[in-house]
Amino acid sequence: ADLMSISAHKIYGPKGIGALIIRRGVRLSPRFIGGSQERGLRTGTENAPGIVGFGKAAEICGAVLDKEMRDLRAMRDALGERILNEIPDVKMNGSRDRRSPGLLNVSFLGCEGEALLIALDRRGFCVSTGSACSAGAVGASHVLLALGMNVMDAQAAIRFSFGRFNRLDDVNALMNVLPAIVAKQRETSTMMVR
């Protein structure tokens, strides 16, 4: 990679701080002129507390990464198995082998993802119908469509994300309500199960 940007909040660091890794030999031009910060590439006072917080978050992340990935994978896989076993007409989206340990994307055929999101939110579960970068966007995920998924299946998709503070109990709590929510949604939805 020539350039790689990293946001601290993605590893439980402070919001509003990040890093840009620049491959040796890549030349950048400053976006604003006037200051000598960051070797003349940007102006303004550096966010020293944010930088220190980002550093500490990276240190913690490095120390717990292996265990955290195992825990996230276990929760993701447990939820995926339960969904497949307890809810008919679902489609797991993405690779079964090459995927993030904390993410599971599922299309609940015959459901509207936005309606599922609202019903789960009312019960205290935070899920998404798109990428974190497009929070608030309505309609089918452009990522799922780019992967070749049809519009109806993409609109029926929900993304479940697990993090450092989730436990297997959260999977059980979700599965205590999800089958009934999906069944009710299918009764009232105008989408068809193929």
Could you tell me what percentage of the chain is helix, strand and coil, using 3-state DSSP and rounding each to the nearest 5? 45, 15, 40
Which amino acid is present at 108?
Answer: F
Considering just the CA atoms, what is the radius of gyration of the chain in Å?
20
Continuous segment of H or E residues that includes residue 91: strand 90-93
User: Using an 8 Å Cβ cutoff, are 108 and 178 in contact?
Assistant: no
Q: In angstroms, rounded to a whole number, what is the distance separating the alpha carbons of residues 151 and 111?
A: 12
Among the listed residues 61, 111, 126, 133, the single catalytic one is 133
Cβ-Cβ contacts under 8 Å for 14 (sequence gap 6 or more) = 8, 49, 50, 53, 54, 57
Active site residue 111: no
Q: Which residues are catalytic?
A: 133
